[in-house]
Structure 1
């Protein structure tokens, strides 16, 4: 089997507009995420909001096994045509890893069918992420928990459908908790939402965070199963008395 074709998508706005954020991610959040994946198992490419078609042409998506999505301040600028294009690819088997504030992206909300709203606070507080599904491949190589010294708080209630599998739960210094690692399937596609990654903190250099994202990309890889055929089934598997099709 060849390398997984992973496209890392990022708005790439914060890094251009803020010297503070640019000092943390000088080459963009997407580059830090891609570097964390490494090239041993992945063929990595990048796409950003201001690219033609947001970098997500039909051809590009057809050549993407797993799409990693980071967005925050410009969700509304993502064209609905592109959202529908990504949605269709997920249903046909492309994996999707949604990071941090991507919970409010058009594509995640469309796939979830809920508001995806939550509580939040920017206080640079400690986050402790607990592994609650220790046998899950997404947390392979992670201990019982890991900590991030400074992060933005996301708190319950998180308005998402009940996850198919809950892998990680966060506790924050201020007392809030949050479902931080959530697995879903939609059509033939697998989706993983992973909470950490506020743009002012160096979260995507953390080796535990990088391990989770690497594992998630592998977990979300497409299967080789053919897409189901829908519509009228004119020819029955067994003869039906009096049926002429």
Structure 2
């Protein structure tokens, strides 16, 4: 069974009554609930726990880490970022949601500013499936809509994705690469754009299905991570040339 840890800042839910009303168990609690219902083994971790809840022991029991952050990216300790980064390179999957694009871990893995255009205007978002053969969009229609979402727009300052799975159009006219994948070391990464804290996005059936599919995708292991350093020669050295 795939083991998933859902990490969340858990700050908006404590400070903003409207967010707490939408997510009474926290964003992490809502995400963990539908993952568990889908058959994943889930646990949660939050910023204000010791070591942000991401101890060596927790990460050792994690096949895929889901990351949601917004207000407090700078409060995440560099030591924990390094710990997560190492685990991704050695095969742990990472699903980054919404404003997690500015998290220390995503920026470290991308090597760019990860900046973008944004707007809060209660506008409609329409998703289009760009690669209908990809497992991340299994069971998802060709397009679907969210009645309200925060606009994220291009240009998104990221390296060219390995795969672009979803593209979004917003009512105000902007477009965005809203579902993209990367491989870093032995780990798989899926970035998925929707999930502004003041909207009930994580109750949408298609959003839930995409996240579940993304977890399954990121849990798939790549070829065994190579061992670097000194190595013996493959062929004899100094022999007679043929």
Asked if Structure 1 and Structure 2 have the same fold, meaning a TM-score greater than 0.5 normalized by the shorter chain, the answer is yes
Give the structure 2 partner of residue 229 of structure 1. 227
SS at match of 1:38: helix
Give the conservation status (yes or no) of the 8 Å contact 2:186–2:224.
no
Give the structure 2 partner of residue 60 of structure 1. 58
- 1:115 maps to 2:113: yes
Give the structure 2 partner of residue 194 of structure 1. 192
- Aligned pair count reads 239
Indicate the RMSD between aligned Cα atoms, in angstroms: 1.0
User: Within 5 Å, which residues of 2 pair with 1:29-108?
Assistant: 29-108=27-106
Give the structure 2 partner of residue 176 of structure 1. 174
**Cα distance in 2 for residues equivalent to 1:21 and 1:41:** 27
- 1:239 maps to 2:236: yes
**Cα distance in 1 for residues equivalent to 2:147 and 2:155:** 23
**Cα distance in 1 for residues equivalent to 2:57 and 2:32:** 21
Give the conservation status (yes or no) of the 8 Å contact 1:163–1:183.
yes
Give the conservation status (yes or no) of the 8 Å contact 1:130–1:145.
yes
**Which contiguous aligned blocks of 4+ residues in structure 1 show a shift greater than 2 angstroms?**
38-41, 224-227
Single out whichever of 38-47 and 159-168 deviates more from structure 2: 38-47
**Cα distance in 1 for residues equivalent to 2:218 and 2:71:** 26
**Cα distance in 2 for residues equivalent to 1:82 and 1:229:** 23
Structure 1 gap ranges (5+): none
Give the structure 1 partner of residue 160 of structure 2. 162
Give the conservation status (yes or no) of the 8 Å contact 1:180–1:195.
yes
Give the structure 2 partner of residue 215 of structure 1. 213
